[in-house]
Amino acid sequence: MRFVFGPVPSRRLGLSLGVDIVPHKTCTLDCLYCECGPTTIHTMERREFFDPEYIVDEVRRLLDEKITFDWLTFSGSGEPLLNSKFGYIASRLKDLVGDRIALLTNSTLLFFDEIRKEAGYCNLVLPSLDTAIEETFLFLNRPTEGITVKDVIRGLHLFKKEYPEVKMFLEVLFVRDVNDKEEELVELRRAIEYIEPDEIHLNTVTRPPSYKVDPVDYSFMLEAKNFLGFKNITIIGKFRGTSTDRLYEETLVESLRRRPLTLEGLAEVIGDRSIADELIKNLILKGAVEIISYGGKLFYRLKDS
């Protein structure tokens, strides 16, 4: 599969079947904490990128396999709304899966009227807003030219006002010594009151970042939650635990049962390179997986396959 990955366990979406509709690291931001690596195509220019029928067909083929998932989620390693065919793709996929379309977005393009309209095809939008202060936005999120944090906040407000039926779970990711000051929390609270999301999710750096930044500790997360003071606010952590680890491992094993995969291939299946690396090491120790070399690359293969 070129455009579809998973389903993978998600901290906020249960089992999420991902759809990646932009080239790797094509984004309006180059966030210091991004787990996908530095942005290589830093732009706010929208393009079609791929034939939308190929994307729809891939999803249809997976659905024919009776695959189980909770949400079909536009996500991946870039900003989905940069695809100029987003509205068309979302409407076609909604015909296939019903009201289970989610969108992970960095929120930067929602100040455009036509893009808000396209995002309105989704049933759940999970946008991000890490700061309401322009100086911090420039340092932490590193937007391409033409995007300000005021535009981001205004776009989020207008989207929620124009599409109240679409659930909005707003994520704030804190980085130590960057957006964890009291003045940040004051301005964030003001922005969130203006946006009026259905839920607020507080997060921090939990996976290897693109640049050297550190997470805040849990005590700060509690302080931030209390300071912001909203009833619908939650601290989210790693979606890990006994049952989830087993689900990750089962997903990985089923993929290896079909064909040998490199670590990069496993990371695409799991949606997280660090988790894939950890799990494959455990499977090797158990004697379930072997390493083979082919074409100058290392592949992992089930021993009984």
Instruction: Kindly report, residue by residue over 87-144, the tens digit of the pLDDT.
Output: 999 999 999 999 999 999 999 999 999 999 999 999 999 999 999 999 999 999 999 9
Would the pLDDT of 243 be above 50? no
Cα three-residue angle 100-101-107, rounded to 5 degrees: 140
Domain borders along the chain are 4-235, 242-302
pTM over 0.85: no
Q: What's the CA dihedral at 226, 228, 232, 235 to 10 degrees?
A: -60
| CATH, domain 4-235, list 3.40.50.300, 3.30.365.10, 1.10.150.20, 3.20.20.70 | 3.20.20.70
Phi-psi region of 192 (alpha: psi -120 to 50; beta: other; left: phi over 0): alpha
Dist CA 100 CA 126 (whole Å)? 13
Count CB neighbours of 279 within 10 A.
20
Cβ contact 72:95 at 8 Å: no
Number of H-type helices and E-type strands within the chain = 10, 12
The fold for domain 242-302 equals Arc Repressor Mutant, subunit A (1.10.10)
Instruction: Kindly report, residue by residue over 203-231, the tens digit of the pLDDT.
Output: 998 777 889 999 998 889 999 999 999 99
Query: What's the pLDDT score for residue 96?
Result: 94
Query: How is residue 244 annotated by DSSP?
Result: H
Would the pLDDT of 153 be above 50? yes
Query: How is residue 128 annotated by DSSP?
Result: B
Residue in the block written with tokens 């776009």: 155
